Structure 1
Amino acid sequence: MKKYVLAVVTAAAVLAAALIPSGPPVEAATPGFGSAVSAIKQTSWQTNNSVNALAISGNTVFAGGLFTKIRQPGKPAGQGEAVRTYIAAFNRTTGAPTAFAPKLNGPVYSIATSPDGNWVVIGGDFTTVNGIKRSKIAMFSVVTGRMVSAWDPVVSARVKALAIFGNSVFIGGAFAKVDGAVRNHLGAVRLIQGDLLPWNPSANGDVYAIDLSDNGTRVFVGGPFSTINGKDHYSLAMTNNTTGAAYSFPAAAAIPKPTATCTTRVKDIDTLGDNVYVSNGGDGSGCYDGVLAAQVSTGKLLWKNNCLGATEAIKAIGNWVYKGSHAHNCSDSGAFPDGTGTHYLLVESAINGKIGPWFPNTDADQSSTTQVGPLAMAGTNTDLWVGGDFLNVNGKPQRGLTRFTNTPGGAAPAVPKAPILAPSSAKVSVRFSDVYDLDNISLTYNVFRGTTNIGSFKYMSYYWEARKAYTVVDTGVKSGQTVTYHIEVHDGRNIMKGPSVSVKVP
């Protein structure tokens, strides 16, 4: 599914990224938080079941899935609800629903919006829309919300992936035919007319993800297939946008072939500029579940993150790649080990794949059909929408759908503890512990004696780490003097002041 985003990156961030390709991830110069959006959950309506697909057109966000109702923010199930059968639309600015409410008789698994903002195409298992026959796919006017009655391709089975470029709608899924013609899991129709196009890569297994290069010349496809047009292309391929012929794609070799104990397949694809980002999920212990980045123009691998815990959804925004996964071990990538819990939402540097400064979280509904948490993402340079089977976001009830924005401020650092003081002749040793911030890694610690700042220090910290201690020696005191100290932590916008403690200098 093509998800358009304006890439806005500060010159300082680009320079920093270039200077430290193998070091800590770059942090954007946005006051209060380190990546493109903050970890603060913004207000939005909820759903009564999983959200499988998201797409944005202008100020409208389309969500599709297994839900049959939506409900107001903060309301429990059964209260403040409105009927929306498998598809809904929301205001990007407020998170409130629009009047868009077609009636479908089956789930939605994919959504794509046209680059001109006029059309939205949905795909899934449904066979009727508003009582009118539709075979797994339908198109609506974004402006009026009405289904386009003359646009009625017939797809023989589930439509799992969609992308639009120019006058072409690219389709992926479980089907074997489109409009009666053989199209094994991949096909394309014209956007305006709806008739079948020659594009026919012919995959030998289901397709889960489709996206196009920004210039529309290359179509990336992913899923649990092993061949394209009868030739070996395991789980990922780069194809011609007209013929469907597969190009050489060296980066695809980074996805391991199946073994007796491990199978991994592509779950999502997102392109931005000359980069394509690919997420994977595996079955079996230690299977490849991470994200890789490749160059569109050459097909070469740029980096590969090996976090364990299947990555279901990704979204590239500027120098960041946001991921929805059930990651539980990223030690191979220099981050958290097993035993720190499940990290359903993360961001990686688009420069090197390292875990970046964004740590909101969801859970996963263990009574759902998927039980994995986030399943879909869509965003722009100012916001990120996340859909899935979750019940809570940042520890508070919020089912199925949530959003994060670049509203200034972000999450505040934790309140620092009172420092531990060790006085000696004409000096005081001040020992303090670090804290963490859910959307920053680098924090500034100011050590105060009364109102005098005796030292300012910048340290990096992650919330899953054991807290670290630092010491500064204050020599600006006199014997017999009673002095008071406290710590203030600054993240660029928010300042958290810790409690004070006093001591008499011997």
Structure 2
Amino acid sequence: MGRRLLAVVGAAGLAFGLIPAPPAVSTGASLTAVANSAWQTDASVLGLAIAKGKAYVGGRFTKVRPPGAAAGTNQTTRTYLAAFNQTTGALDAGFSHTLNGFVWAIVASADGSRVYVGGDFTRVDGQVRNRIAAFDTATGALVSTIKPSVSYRVKALAIGGTSLYFGGSFGLVNNIARNRAAAISTVNGSLLPWNPNADADVYAIDAADDNSKVYLGGTFAKIGGANRWAVASVNNSTGALLPFAAASAVPLPTSGCTSRVKDIETSGSRVYFANAGDGGGCFDGTWAADVATGNLVWKNTCLGATEALTVVNGWLFKGSHAHSCPGAFSDGTGAHFLLLQNPANGSLGPWFPNTNAGSPTLVGPLVSATGGSDLWVGGDFTKVNGVGQQGLTRFTNLGNGAAPLGPVLPTLSSTTVGQVKATVQTSLDNDDITLTYRLLRGATNTIVATTTANSTFWSRPTITLTDPNAPSGTTQMYRIEAYDGHNAVRGGYSTINVR
């Protein structure tokens, strides 16, 4: 991704080429798998939103530090809320507020002029803000008109028109009954009539892009007194239940399985859901529904709780700790915390960066957001792509992307006069599935054969390339070059006596 001229990096048996070769047939993702520079947090990130060139980040942290800084070093105080430059990932020194409780959710207004924050706090800079606050993105100032009194935790926020919808664990808003879901006006902060009346916690909330309806997810079993397990579609002004056939994607709870909706992402005519289940084999996957009809479009049954979904440039990016995906990979390949799905059918796409999982949840990515052409990910991880990076990371479409894994030595054979066959296992590339392979002969690296092949971490077939004009009766050496359209990587030489 990006420029095609490559710098040379010498290594024993491995080299990066300087070859402006023709592009590979690539199914590359819209973002590279190479993490871009970003500041870090000293504890989990739980909320994210992008507005006006800044990433607003909330969570359990009280300190932030530059990229590359070890834990506990070079720290700057930011108590549960911070902002960073969207382009560079650097701390925004001008946005500094002190909250007295965790931030669980952040959402930006459609025009980016405000960000709304929800959580456990009751004070912002000493001023009363009972679990919801708003900030002006131009000045960074606390908005005086947004100050509902919410009785307990706010865990989810969404904007629809001039309504701020929120969900969580509360029972009162402004001392009026609102069980775990409510809405206020973004114009004057007044409590709205919207009242779904959930009987248990709401973890996720989002409004359709056309604001025709609102979706709720969580651990509830009833909405407005009617049975609705873990997910519901409701009227945008009253909160009354709407028909939603796709809700059948979430299995009803049993003694061995409880699956709940953890995140919701609306995008155009589709709405996407992330599920996390308790119990072996319990539904942990993702699913999509049609906004207009409420019908199920697809259901992906990967195992390993899914916590976050974000659509970027036509792809559905997800944060989970997937350890098995039917039709793709099975248990034994470890946990894959960042994956990409085709929003049309839910199949996995060509994007395989990774994180680890840290305390306290040991889940990894917990939240994600986009500013249009990037992806910010927050959670409880301490490493990204094997490198120390705590709590926060970001990915863009800039640069050349991940380079292919260096090809192994080819196995050579010569059973026909003047012909050499080279067999090799396909390589891996974290943001391309289809790679171009070239068979290079001699110290001059003459290209004698080219092919393309698909490979993933769960499927690496072997390929055979043939030199049809090998000099008969000579000893020749051959190597394989893997090329993703931007990065060319060469393996070591194997030698053969040509028949």
TM, length-normalised to structure 2: 0.92
Residues 451 and 465 of structure 2 are in contact (CA less than 8 Å); yes or no, is this contact kept in structure 1? no
State which of 374, 391, 398 in structure 1 corresponds to 2:365.
374
Paired residue total: 473
Q: Secondary structure at the match of 1:151?
A: coil
Say whether residues 1:239 and 2:234 are aligned partners: yes
Q: CA deviation at 1:320?
A: 1.3
Aligned position for 2:389: 398
State which of 435, 440, 448 in structure 2 corresponds to 1:454.
448
Q: CA deviation at 1:474?
A: 2.9
Residues 32 and 408 of structure 1 are in contact (CA less than 8 Å); yes or no, is this contact kept in structure 2? no
Aligned position for 2:458: 464
Aligned position for 1:21: none
Say whether residues 1:491 and 2:474 are aligned partners: no
Aligned position for 2:313: 318
Cα distance in 2, alignment partners of residues 416 and 351 from structure 1: 33
Q: Secondary structure at the match of 1:370?
A: coil
State which of 112, 126, 151 in structure 2 corresponds to 1:117.
112
Residues 324 and 344 of structure 1 are in contact (CA less than 8 Å); yes or no, is this contact kept in structure 2? yes
Q: CA deviation at 1:309?
A: 0.6
Stretches of structure 1 lacking an aligned partner (at least 5 in a row): 1-28
Cα distance in 1, alignment partners of residues 43 and 475 from structure 2: 61
Give the residue type in structure 1 aligned to 2:420.
Answer: V
Q: Secondary structure at the match of 1:42?
A: coil
Aligned positions of 1:168-179 closer than 5 A = 168-179=163-174
Cα distance in 2, alignment partners of residues 339 and 484 from structure 1: 36
Q: CA deviation at 1:31?
A: 9.4
The verdict on how the C-alpha distance between 1:129 and 1:30 changes in structure 2, with shifts beyond 3 A counting, is farther
- Cα shift readout 1:17-54 (whole Å, capped 9, x = no counterpart): xxxxxxxxxxxx99987112111010000000000010
Cα distance in 1, alignment partners of residues 400 and 467 from structure 2: 32
Cα distance in 2, alignment partners of residues 428 and 150 from structure 1: 77
Say whether residues 1:187 and 2:182 are aligned partners: yes
Cα distance in 2, alignment partners of residues 151 and 31 from structure 1: 52
Aligned position for 2:250: 255
Q: CA deviation at 1:425?
A: 4.4
Residues 168 and 190 of structure 1 are in contact (CA less than 8 Å); yes or no, is this contact kept in structure 2? yes
Aligned position for 1:45: 39
Residues 32 and 410 of structure 1 are in contact (CA less than 8 Å); yes or no, is this contact kept in structure 2? no
- Cα shift readout 1:278-328 (whole Å, capped 9, x = no counterpart): 000001110000000111011111110000010011111233111111111
Q: CA deviation at 1:453?
A: 2.8
Aligned positions of 1:90-239 closer than 5 A = 90-98=84-92, 99-239=94-234
Cα distance in 1, alignment partners of residues 77 and 412 from structure 2: 61
Give the residue type in structure 2 aligned to 1:486.
Answer: R
The verdict on how the C-alpha distance between 1:97 and 1:174 changes in structure 2, with shifts beyond 3 A counting, is same
Cα distance in 2, alignment partners of residues 425 and 43 from structure 1: 53
Say whether residues 1:439 and 2:431 are aligned partners: yes
Residues 206 and 266 of structure 2 are in contact (CA less than 8 Å); yes or no, is this contact kept in structure 1? yes
State which of 19, 28, 32 in structure 2 corresponds to 1:34.
28
Q: Secondary structure at the match of 1:252?
A: helix
Indicate the RMSD between aligned Cα atoms, in angstroms: 1.6
Cα distance in 1, alignment partners of residues 334 and 302 from structure 2: 13
Q: Secondary structure at the match of 1:89?
A: strand
Cα distance in 1, alignment partners of residues 212 and 323 from structure 2: 37
Residues 450 and 465 of structure 2 are in contact (CA less than 8 Å); yes or no, is this contact kept in structure 1? no
Aligned position for 1:359: 352
Aligned position for 1:429: 421
Give the residue type in structure 1 aligned to 2:303.
Answer: L
Residues 132 and 147 of structure 2 are in contact (CA less than 8 Å); yes or no, is this contact kept in structure 1? yes
Give the residue type in structure 2 aligned to 1:364.
Answer: A
Aligned positions of 1:278-293 closer than 5 A = 278-293=273-288
Aligned position for 1:299: 294
The verdict on how the C-alpha distance between 1:314 and 1:188 changes in structure 2, with shifts beyond 3 A counting, is same
Residues 160 and 208 of structure 2 are in contact (CA less than 8 Å); yes or no, is this contact kept in structure 1? no
Residues 413 and 489 of structure 1 are in contact (CA less than 8 Å); yes or no, is this contact kept in structure 2? yes
Aligned position for 1:80: 74
Further displaced range: 266-275 or 31-40: 31-40
Cα distance in 2, alignment partners of residues 56 and 314 from structure 1: 15
The verdict on how the C-alpha distance between 1:351 and 1:376 changes in structure 2, with shifts beyond 3 A counting, is same
Aligned position for 2:5: none
Q: Secondary structure at the match of 2:414?
A: strand
Give the residue type in structure 2 aligned to 1:302.
Answer: V
- Cα shift readout 1:59-90 (whole Å, capped 9, x = no counterpart): 11111000001001100122111100000111
Say whether residues 1:412 and 2:406 are aligned partners: no
The verdict on how the C-alpha distance between 1:61 and 1:258 changes in structure 2, with shifts beyond 3 A counting, is same
Q: CA deviation at 1:478?
A: 4.1
Residues 428 and 473 of structure 1 are in contact (CA less than 8 Å); yes or no, is this contact kept in structure 2? yes
Cα distance in 2, alignment partners of residues 280 and 110 from structure 1: 18
Q: CA deviation at 1:501?
A: 2.8
TM, length-normalised to structure 1: 0.91
Aligned position for 2:54: 60
Cα distance in 1, alignment partners of residues 87 and 350 from structure 2: 24
Residues 25 and 452 of structure 2 are in contact (CA less than 8 Å); yes or no, is this contact kept in structure 1? no
The verdict on how the C-alpha distance between 1:485 and 1:151 changes in structure 2, with shifts beyond 3 A counting, is same
Q: Secondary structure at the match of 2:246?
A: helix
